[in-house]
Structure 1
Amino acid sequence: MATIPPRTLPASWYTSKPLYQLERRAVFLKSWYLLGPIIKFAPGTSVDYEFAGVHLTVNAAPPTDPSDQPHTPSITVLDSTTGTPLRHHTTTTGLIFTAISPLAPSFHTFFPNLEATLSAVDFTARPHRRSISYSGHFNWKTMIDGYQECLHCQYTHPAFSLLYPPTFYAVKNHHNWCQHYADAARPDDGLFLYFLPNCTLNVYGGGMSLFRVCPTEEPGRTRMEFDYYNVVEGEAFEEYYKFVRQVADEDFELCETVQGNLERGIYAEGVLNSVKENGVAYYQQRVLEMVLEQHQEDRQQARTRGAEGAATSTLAVEHAPARHGNSIPNRAIVEASA
């Protein structure tokens, strides 16, 4: 029997405001986020972040033990609006993750077996060199779609493809995170990781970069945030920075073009390559699963309150996927709470 290929999320999921509000509660409030290596947070300083409308501040206190290394401060993460402490986790190799609400499970439940993969790299070995942020005209998933496959790489990223030929490119999906292999026969050649929903970590070309795809209230607008790390500085760093920024700019242009087509109705829904686009299929399926679970929770809560229909305004999202992968049931309508 032939296997039914996975299908994409419908275009309406990239343009609907009510759908984003449902994603916010279903996905973003229940996830963990990569803030960066501990070396980014100089003792005595604070760094602000925002994820899906939740503002938070990372405070780095000077180490209480004078013999401790200067790049290992005591970290606290606070909700900037309420002052409430937020859970955070520092890996054994120096990466800091945070949850933004109590709805998220524990770090190890959300990212099982991730620490074993991270143990191969000392993430405190490369000093923080530069951070940049800017807005893009595309949905957050538009950018993640591009990151999760490399079919576009040879055409869009010719310089990158010389170093990492897409012929050998492969993605291995884990629970809520994915590892990309430039050459599956050489798994130690570069480290490329995606963390559901919107963070990445890339160690290649002698340096390290992170980016966060931060959604806004407008589904077609996203804020991109990049952090760059490298052992070199000066002109040597600028050469590295020029190369990685070229790749990022190429992706940016592609995503804005794709989003424009989505908003104009040129594309509605399609089929994914189960091998070459397995990373896209996996993350989109997880988003769909979490959204459907949240929708069912909302309906159950409404029934419990005895106010279903009065307490929730709904949106029928057109072109909902008939089937996603091989495990998601048919669904004609997705309702998003106002």
Structure 2
Amino acid sequence: MESLRKSPRTLPASWYCSSALYQLERRGVFKKAWHFLGPVTRFQKEFEKVVYEIAQVTIVVENKTAKREDGTDGIIVYAEDESTKIKSHLTPSGLLFATLSADSPSFEDYFGGLEELTNKIDFTKLPHRRSISYEGRFNWKTMIDGYQECLHCQYTHPTFSKYYPPAFYKVENHNNFSQHIADPSKQSDGLFLYFFPICTLNVYGGGMSSFRTLPSPNPGVSRMEFDYYYSGTDEEFEEYFKFVRQVAMEDFELCEKAQANLERGVYAEGVLNPVKENGVAFYQQKVRESVYRQHAEEEAEKDRGDKVAQVAEVNGTASVVVAT
């Protein structure tokens, strides 16, 4: 019983079903985060605009001069709404990140230590092969819950588990990102990264893929966006694509069923395994802290506004008395 009391608890089911809660997440989580957009090979076509919509903010990436061999020079990132100020960052290894507002911290403060890990791989070598997008009937956190643990892998992903047995699986959490290690004795075999709050990067099976779980004002709906990279032949890519898509669709079905149970009230709140579900506990705590902080800031701002209004009302009354 003592160990259960010390174990981290999950977010309440209401956090997966509340529109008002999502608006707090939008302001406190998404607008203050850095979001992974892709490696430079995603933006190789000169003057082609790649458009992203994250938490109802539209961002555009455009390669103005795709003439150099690495394709990095000339890649610009801007918000579709010219009044919205954002920031962007390109890592030395070729990964592009951006914010949704100017309220986010610096890239170095947000993702401290990330470049030491990603700089071990040259992300400019794998060409972009395909992108797909579709909606799912689940909250964005439902998908991240599944990604951040592998307890379900043996039963839900039998093909994946043949390559990466879940008995060795562990998650190492860092500053706003997590590294998933399939086998601690073979840390160079596959790179699986989660970027808080909604982005992933997975290098395995001879290729590379990433996804974003994009929230909507309807807390029970998210849009999944996938990008796939591969340097082999078309036939080899299709085999790789078939493999990784199978894993993705297995997760998709699981998330829709989990969300349905959350909305029916089947589950309210529970306890997380501090070892096997440490990745879930890590990101959920960051959501919880961000929402609480945003709510406290807005309440404090509201109190300041009320006090200013009260002072103005008192001063106005005094002026009237003096004039009389």
Do they fold alike, i.e. is TM over 0.5?
Answer: yes
Determine the structure 1 residue equivalent to 2:155: 155
Work out the number of aligned pairs and report it: 305
Please give the alpha-carbon distance, in whole angstroms, between the structure 2 residues aligned to 1:47 and 1:177. 24
**Displaced runs of 4+ in structure 1, greater than 3 A?**
none
Offset from partner CA, 1:76-96 (integer Å, 9 cap, x none): 111112265531100000000
Q: For structure 1, which runs of at least 5 residues remain unmatched after alignment? A: 309-338
Please give the alpha-carbon distance, in whole angstroms, between the structure 2 residues aligned to 1:84 and 1:141. 26
- Whether the aligned pair in 1 keeps the contact of 2:16 and 2:262 (CA below 8 Å) is yes
- Whether the aligned pair in 1 keeps the contact of 2:207 and 2:230 (CA below 8 Å) is yes
Please give the alpha-carbon distance, in whole angstroms, between the structure 1 residues aligned to 2:128 and 2:305. 50
The residue identity in structure 2 corresponding to 1:137 is R
* Residue 175 (structure 2) pairs with residue 180 (structure 1): no
The residue identity in structure 2 corresponding to 1:212 is R
- Whether the aligned pair in 1 keeps the contact of 2:132 and 2:226 (CA below 8 Å) is yes
- Whether the aligned pair in 2 keeps the contact of 1:171 and 1:178 (CA below 8 Å) is yes
Please give the alpha-carbon distance, in whole angstroms, between the structure 1 residues aligned to 2:144 and 2:22. 15
Instruction: Give 1:1-338 correspondences, 5 Å limit.
Output: 2=3, 4-42=6-44, 43-62=46-65, 68-69=68-69, 71-82=71-82, 84=84, 86-306=86-306
Q: Structure 1 residue 120: deviation in Å? A: 1.0
Please give the alpha-carbon distance, in whole angstroms, between the structure 2 residues aligned to 1:304 and 1:59. 42
TM-score (norm 2): 0.92
Aligned-residue Cα RMSD (Å) equals 1.4
Find the structure with the greater CA-based Rg: 2
- Whether the aligned pair in 2 keeps the contact of 1:136 and 1:224 (CA below 8 Å) is yes
Please give the alpha-carbon distance, in whole angstroms, between the structure 2 residues aligned to 1:78 and 1:120. 28
Please give the alpha-carbon distance, in whole angstroms, between the structure 1 residues aligned to 2:254 and 2:97. 29
Q: Structure 1 residue 237: deviation in Å? A: 0.5
Q: Structure 1 residue 59: deviation in Å? A: 1.3
- Whether the aligned pair in 1 keeps the contact of 2:85 and 2:102 (CA below 8 Å) is no
The sequence identity of aligned pairs, in percent, is: 57
The residue identity in structure 1 corresponding to 2:29 is V
Please give the alpha-carbon distance, in whole angstroms, between the structure 2 residues aligned to 1:307 and 1:239. 64
Q: Structure 1 residue 58: deviation in Å? A: 0.7
Please give the alpha-carbon distance, in whole angstroms, between the structure 1 residues aligned to 2:267 and 2:14. 10
Q: For structure 2, which runs of at least 5 residues remain unmatched after alignment? A: 309-324
- Bigger shift: residues 231-240 or 215-224: 231-240
The residue identity in structure 2 corresponding to 1:46 is K
The residue identity in structure 2 corresponding to 1:61 is K
The residue identity in structure 2 corresponding to 1:50 is E
Please give the alpha-carbon distance, in whole angstroms, between the structure 2 residues aligned to 1:115 and 1:84. 27
Offset from partner CA, 1:176-230 (integer Å, 9 cap, x none): 1000000011111100000000000000000000000000010000000000001
Offset from partner CA, 1:264-298 (integer Å, 9 cap, x none): 00000000000000000000001101111111101
The residue identity in structure 2 corresponding to 1:19 is L
Secondary structure at 2:6 match in 1: coil
- Whether the aligned pair in 1 keeps the contact of 2:65 and 2:75 (CA below 8 Å) is no
Please give the alpha-carbon distance, in whole angstroms, between the structure 2 residues aligned to 1:229 and 1:130. 7
